[in-house]
């Protein structure tokens, strides 16, 4: 069973941590002998964490007590019945938080004055939440989604379908009428369409329908800027796009007629569009860095990037997901001690920089080594 890990969870981890902070990552499995191996991995990592706590933070007795929330999980049969590809645990003096995620984490233990979040950041995908609007003649529904889940969102004033939006009523079997929309110039009184059966859907009908839908959606999402993806037949797309007033309607749509009663299929078809949006945003930021590289608007020096992160000056941070830099940044002197003792106290300048970037609402991107624009663990574009 997947746990949702949102960007808000990431910020919460970094703003509510109470040292010492224990971060544990390990690969797990859904079924088979690998589930038992996951328990063994966690037992070993918990033991190592206890030793590190006793070596730097507290007595051995207090360390064992501190780790009890983790060790209790080892015998929680129900917990291990719902694992996925990866397990991340974060324990501090206040509570244990954990996520079971479809991400095969690399085994890692860190005991520090902050949580280590770079591995789980990939699961958060920045802020990967988006909206999907199913627009059809028979129904219109707004969904809120992310990579792993989708749920219907209540929208005040949203018509149930086209007939409701146009107040359509049957006059007789030979004709259909509806009250003309007062917002459409040139329409007066009732308008009749066709002979026998459903009315023809004129362009004016569709425009009136889309206007009502757009108003309800735009009012409901007022102040939001997350991507909105339209799911509709091709003929409806240009009409809605012309009327739309929401600021982040995506160009690509999920084409065809869609039933709101099958949201899992809708997520399957809409997530690739959102994934392309996130990749495009990252690529655009990377191109901006490359265009400004070597100027005061960017930095590839670790010491400069770390200091700028603490000062809230980072606009975009790119880090090599495979590299770490041992050391400790001193806020008072704005200097780095690269000789900091890391035996029982994990100090990683990359993790420190990621944390500060997230807390100062900078955009943070994890890259493989071959996609880094410079041979350095971190580069950044600067706000000033």
Q: 38: pLDDT confidence band, cut at 50, 70 and 90?
A: confident
pLDDT at site 192: 34
Residue holding tokens 């690509």?
252
Question: Tell me, what's the pLDDT at 168?
Answer: 54
- The string of pLDDT tens digits covering residues 261-302 is 789 999 999 999 999 999 999 999 999 999 999 999 999 999
* pTM of the full structure: 0.76
The dihedral formed by the CA atoms of 91, 92, 95 and 100, expressed in degrees to the nearest 10: -20
Say yes or no: domain 293-382 is CATH 3.30.1330.30.
Answer: yes
Segment 9-31 mean pLDDT:
90
Contacts of 97 (CB under 8 A, 6+ apart): 13, 89, 90, 91
Pairwise CA distance, residues 196 & 225, whole Å? 45
Topology (CATH) of 7-124: 3.30.960
User: Sorting pLDDT into bands at 50, 70 and 90, what band is 32?
Assistant: confident
Which stretches of the chain are assigned E, i.e. beta strand?
21-27, 86-91, 96-101, 108-112, 130-135, 140-145, 150-153, 168-172, 175-179, 190-193, 228-232, 254-255, 298-299, 314-320, 328-330, 335-337, 363-367, 378-382
Domain spans of the chain?
A: 7-124, 130-281, 293-382
Distance CA 113, CA 117 (A): 13
Q: Tell me, what's the pLDDT at 273?
A: 97
Q: Which two tokens stand for residue 254?
A: 């999920």
What pLDDT, on a 0 to 100 scale, did the predictor assign at position 263?
92
For 149-187, how does the pLDDT look when each residue is reduced to its tens digit (9 = 90+)? 899 999 999 999 999 998 853 333 333 334 444 444 444
Q: What tens digit of pLDDT does each residue of 217-261 get?
A: 999 999 889 999 999 999 899 999 999 999 999 999 999 987 777
Tokens describing residue 34: 């690998």
Q: Token pair for residue 128? A: 């990967």
Q: Report CA-CA distances (Å) from 139 to 163, 165, 243.
A: 9, 10, 19
| Average pLDDT score over the chain | 87
């Amino acid at each position: 069973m997947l746990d949702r890990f949102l960007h808000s969870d990431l910020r919460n981890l970094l703003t509510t941590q109470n040292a010492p902070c224990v971060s544990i990552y390990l690969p797990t499995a859904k079924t088979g002998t690998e589930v038992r191996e996951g328990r063994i991995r966690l037992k070993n990592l918990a033991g190592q964490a206890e030793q590190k706590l006793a070596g730097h933070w507290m007595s051995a007795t207090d360390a064992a007590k501190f780790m009890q929330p983790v060790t209790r999980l080892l015998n929680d049969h129900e917990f291990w019945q719902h694992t996925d590809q990866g397990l991340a645990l974060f324990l501090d003096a206040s509570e244990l938080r954990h996520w079971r995620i479809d991400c095969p984490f690399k085994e890692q233990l860190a005991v520090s004055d902050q949580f280590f979040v770079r591995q789980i950041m990939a699961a958060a995908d920045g802020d990967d939440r988006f909206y999907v609007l199913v627009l059809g003649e028979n129904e219109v529904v707004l969904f809120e989604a992310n990579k792993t889940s989708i749920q219907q969102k209540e929208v005040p004033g949203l018509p149930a379908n086209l007939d409701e939006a146009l107040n359509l009523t049957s006059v007789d079997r030979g004709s259909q009428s509806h009250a003309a929309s007062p917002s459409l110039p040139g329409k007066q009184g009732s308008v009749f369409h066709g002979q026998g059966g459903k009315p023809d859907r004129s362009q004016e009908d569709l425009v009136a329908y889309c206007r009502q839908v757009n108003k309800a959606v735009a009012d409901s999402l007022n102040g939001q800027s997350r991507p909105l993806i339209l799911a509709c037949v091709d003929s409806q797309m240009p009409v809605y796009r012309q009327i739309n007033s929401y600021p982040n309607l995506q160009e690509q749509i999920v084409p065809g007629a869609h039933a709101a009663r099958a949201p899992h299929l809708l997520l399957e078809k809409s997530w690739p569009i959102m994934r392309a949006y996130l990749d495009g945003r990252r690529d655009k930021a990377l191109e901006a860095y490359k265009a400004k590289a070597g100027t005061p608007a960017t930095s590839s020096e670790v010491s400069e990037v770390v200091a700028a992160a603490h000062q809230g000056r980072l606009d975009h941070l790119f880090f090599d997901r495979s590299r770490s830099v041992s050391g400790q940044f001193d806020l008072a002197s704005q200097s780095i001690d690269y000789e900091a003792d890391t035996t029982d106290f994990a100090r990683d300048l990359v993790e420190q920089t990621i944390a500060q970037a997230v807390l100062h609402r900078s955009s943070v991107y994890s890259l493989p080594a071959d996609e880094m624009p410079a041979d350095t663990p971190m580069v950044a574009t600067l706000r000033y």
